[in-house]
Structure 1
């Protein structure tokens, strides 16, 4: 069974789907964000806010390379949404079955916590989020082997779609 890497924007459900998929296939699940924090000392938030972008991406790339090199033969890993910003992402993910969890605005935005009522303005968090989803989609699809639209789908349905890709065998 190939290693399965889940990619997608924030709030696509990578961790939730990864945990369920690992359980369904009876293989380990690794949350790369947690593993990056454990190994580097940086949370996803601190990498995004506290460090200059190039330094953050360098730490992310180096730490992900270590994590991917240490993966067991059979595993599911939920990768950080910023994987598309890593210069050598395609090379880094070679040998893994990469599944892009594509999500729409209506499904992802409420999960972010940004949906609380806000004063009306020219730029809203919702419009920025929508723009981010649109701009990043081609980058995710360029490094993915398969794309699954998770918009409005149940976790069980998404897991079964991944299993049904015929690239992996269910237990």
Structure 2
């Protein structure tokens, strides 16, 4: 298969970008990077701390700088943060430099996966379930805008999702 320069996974928090991304990278013999983890490595602090000190705007600026660097690399599977698509600059970086795969998972399943996770700053609100539904409604059109491939997820295993992605990549790369 003729592989794309960079494979970028987008989707809501809890959609499986990191889990699927790791397995996809392993299957394709590529390097895996989680952009949120990369931001933490570069700053030396956890993302909730960045949000606390700099707010979401400060975090988003760091995210754009990190995506700019990472999307220029070849041989990479990149899992992005759930809100990376908010910025038009980020959307252009991702879709212009790589193949973007949207892992679309329904909000009720996202809630099941994330309800006990305290490391997600945007979900630390009185109604996190409602917040997930709002975020999904707002972001879904943006994910679809940048996606070259959309994978409907939720109940399947990460392995099954990777197989679907491999098949879609094969089709995409043949054209």
Give the shorter-chain TM-score range.
0.7 to 0.9
Please state whether the residue corresponding to 1:51 is helix, strand or coil: helix
Q: Is 1:41 aligned to residue 44 of structure 2? A: yes
Q: Is 1:61 aligned to residue 52 of structure 2? A: no
Give the whole-Å Cα distance in 1 for the aligned partners of 2:86 and 2:162. 26
Query: Aligned pair count?
Result: 160
In 2, are the aligned partners of 1:60 and 1:86 still within 8 Å (CA)? no
- Counterpart selection for 1:134 from 133, 137, 147: 137
Give the whole-Å Cα distance in 2 for the aligned partners of 1:150 and 1:102. 6
What is the aligned partner in structure 2 of residue 119 from structure 1? Answer: none
Give the whole-Å Cα distance in 1 for the aligned partners of 2:114 and 2:91. 27
Q: Is 1:152 aligned to residue 148 of structure 2? A: no
More helix by share: 2
Shift of 1:114: 4.4
What is the aligned partner in structure 2 of residue 96 from structure 1? Answer: 98
Give the whole-Å Cα distance in 2 for the aligned partners of 1:47 and 1:82. 15
What is the aligned partner in structure 1 of residue 123 from structure 2? Answer: none
Unaligned runs of 5+ in 1: 116-122
Shift of 1:109: 0.8
What is the aligned partner in structure 2 of residue 120 from structure 1? Answer: none
Q: Is 1:112 aligned to residue 114 of structure 2? A: yes
In 1, are the aligned partners of 2:35 and 2:66 still within 8 Å (CA)? no
Give the whole-Å Cα distance in 2 for the aligned partners of 1:113 and 1:135. 20
Give the whole-Å Cα distance in 2 for the aligned partners of 1:20 and 1:87. 28
In 2, are the aligned partners of 1:102 and 1:149 still within 8 Å (CA)? yes
TM-score, normalising length from structure 2? 0.82
In 1, are the aligned partners of 2:115 and 2:128 still within 8 Å (CA)? no
Structure label with greater radius of gyration: 1
Shift of 1:128: 2.2
Unaligned runs of 5+ in 2: 118-125
